[in-house]
């Protein structure tokens, strides 16, 4: 049982390049989330999904797109990377959004945009 995994762990992009971050979970969770973590700003929600085939915007969605074609996978895309997107990206999942359900986090992807 691997939990939540993220690919890749590190990536360096040049401004304007595109990339996709992959998140996979093997816990049969309905809900999945993408966060970014920046120093002094905590975690901010980018996009989330409440089930296969659904996506929704979070707090900071601009510049990102997501897809949830399979229940176990949640992809985060950057179409044209900008230096402001340099951050650590975390994926998380949860069984539901019931008040007591905790989220399970992946190990993170450190992205640098030059």
Question: Which positions touch other proteins (CB under 8 A)?
Answer: 4, 33, 40-45, 48, 50, 56, 58, 90, 92, 97-100, 102-108
Give 42 or 69: the residue with its C-beta nearer to other proteins.
42
Give 40 or 62: the residue with its C-beta nearer to other proteins.
40
Shortest separation between residue 98's beta carbon and other proteins, angstroms: 8
Give 28 or 98: the residue with its C-beta nearer to other proteins.
98
DSSP secondary structure string for all residues of 38-102:
ETTTEEEEEEEESSTT--EE-SS-TT-EEE-SSTTEEEEEESS--GGG-EEEEEEEES---TTPP
Tokens of 79: 């179409």
Shortest separation between residue 80's beta carbon and other proteins, angstroms: 26
Shortest separation between residue 15's beta carbon and other proteins, angstroms: 26
Give 17 or 60: the residue with its C-beta nearer to other proteins.
60
Sort strands 4-7 and 19-25 into parallel, antiparallel or unpaired. Answer: antiparallel
Shortest separation between residue 43's beta carbon and other proteins, angstroms: 4
Tokens of 107: 């190990």
DSSP 3-state assignment of 25? strand
């Amino acid at each position: 049982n691997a939990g939540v995994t993220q690919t890749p762990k590190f990536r360096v992009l040049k401004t304007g390049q595109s990339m996709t971050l992959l998140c996979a979970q093997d816990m049969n969770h309905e809900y999945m989330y993408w966060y970014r973590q920046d120093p002094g700003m905590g975690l901010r929600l980018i996009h989330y999904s409440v089930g296969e085939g659904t996506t929704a915007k979070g707090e900071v969605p601009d510049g990102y797109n997501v897809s949830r074609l399979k229940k176990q996978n949640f992809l985060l895309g950057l179409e044209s990377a900008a230096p402001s997107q340099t951050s650590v990206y975390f994926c998380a999942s949860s069984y539901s959004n019931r008040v007591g359900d905790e989220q399970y986090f992946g190990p993170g992807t450190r992205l640098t945009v030059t």
